[in-house]
Amino acid sequence: MSLTHASPRPFQLQVPQADLDELQQRLARTRWPDEPPGEAPWSSGTDMTWLRSLVAHWQHGFDWRAQEARLNAWPQFKCPVGGIDLHYLHAPGEGPRPMPLLLLHGWPGSVFEFMDLLPRLTQPSRFGGAAADAFTVVAPSLPGYGLSFTPGQRRIGIDGMADLMATLMSDVLGYPRFGAQGGDWGASVAARLGWAHAPLLHGIHLNLMPIPREPAHVTGDSDEERRYLAELRRWLAEETGYSLQQSTRPQTLAYAMTDSPVGLAAWISEKFRAWSDCGGDVDSVFSHDALLADISLYWFTGAIGASFWPYYARRRDGWPVPEGATVDVPTGYAEFPAEIVRPPRSLAARTFTQIQRWQVMPRGGHFAAMEQPQALAEEIRAFFRPLRA
């Protein structure tokens, strides 16, 4: 599918100083709630003591300009595609034949997730790898997220995102074939590309397996499936309140998240704790600066409401690969132990018919690019290595 597009233009991020000043004013005027007496920290939501420490750092220690500089160190562009002004990093790889790789984030992430992963993919020789395994990486802000959002732009679901990504890689950037890698919604976009745009793909690599999450899809015929069914039921019962709200009334939630930076921080940071391999101690995996870079990007762009849209669209449109259809391009999967759900290979193989690598990782969770960038980079390189010919 080819969508109307124009020529890319170079981009550098510079948030106006007035926006930084306004954020500080809002943080200083925070109206804090109480907490239910006698409840353990984090048991009913984001812990106030921890959140106060994060907000204090946001006010007095966090350097947004340093985070901007970190992002601006990579070549960035914007390009109108299909009526959306897409933002993307386009980082050339070392060596004579770097493979083009589309690198896709999800929610509540952003391109800031990839700051430690990018050099390991573009310049593997700096990190103990071989230059022959290098990638030229295209890392877009998903449509409706961060720097790919402007107020009033049309909302699109995963199928539309995949079409835009295909146009960006093939028509705008001129890559006849490329690889795709993603977690969270990025994994769904990669899967949709593998189904709807298979001739463009060398293969797809995933660190979240995007198959339907309804118990009716699990037969329970093996120990693996029974383990997954118990895990899935616990997830649906205890961890999906955010998804239900975002998929049914995203606009209602957007008012609070767009108006309150502390509310936004509470909503996002709770997921970084719950979904990572941190053992309940979010600070053991993510620095305040890393969390606030991501949260601040949502704040300054005002994109949080639009970022909910894929949840709303999926509720209406279903999973990105239609029921009964299959993804027949080479597929790799890295199963991180603290991922939100971990379906067994027997279920994944019903949809992904060409699983060529399935690696169980020793550590890490949902935010693998941030938690375990070296391990994820090695897995991506290993999967795509035989597909480069």
Query: Is residue 175 annotated as a catalytic residue, yes or no?
Result: no
Per-residue pLDDT, 99 = 98
Instruction: Write down the pLDDT at residue 4.
Output: 66
pLDDT at 272: 98
Determine the pLDDT at residue 214.
79
Q: Are residues 269 and 51 in contact, defined by beta-carbon separation less than 8 angstroms?
A: yes
**Annotated catalytic residue within 88, 145, 298, 311:** 311
Closest by CA position to 59, among listed 303, 300, 296:
296
Q: Are 81 and 172 in contact, with CB atoms under 8 Å apart?
A: yes
User: Tens digit of pLDDT for each residue in 313-339?
Assistant: 999 888 899 989 999 999 999 999 999
288 has catalytic annotation:
no
All residue ranges of the chain with pLDDT < 50 are: 1
pLDDT for position 222: 86
Closest among 88, 186, 201, 96 to 146, alpha carbons compared:
88
Instruction: Give the type of residue at 8.
Output: P
- Structure confidence at residue 218 (pLDDT): 78
Q: What are the start-end ranges of the H helices in the chain?
A: 17-28, 48-60, 64-72, 118-122, 158-167, 185-196, 223-238, 241-248, 250-259, 261-274, 288-301, 304-307, 309-317, 345-351, 368-371, 373-384
Kindly report the three-state secondary structure assignment for every residue of 360-372.
Answer: ECCCCECCHHHHC
Name the token pair of 369: 């690019």
Nearest alpha-carbon partner for 262 in 25, 90, 100, 6:
25
Catalytic residue among 47, 133, 184, 277: 184
Instruction: Please spell the DSSP secondary structure of 293-330, one letter per residue.
Output: HHHHHHHHHT-HHHHTHHHHHHHHH--SSPTT--B-S-
- Active-site residue flag, 87: no
Amino acid at 204: I
Contact 62, 292 (CB under 8 A): yes
Q: Among 87, 197, 202, 366, which one carries the catalytic annotation?
A: 366
Q: How many residues does the chain have?
A: 389
Domains and CATH numbers, the chain: 9-30+42-387 (3.40.50.1820)
State the pTM of this model.
0.96
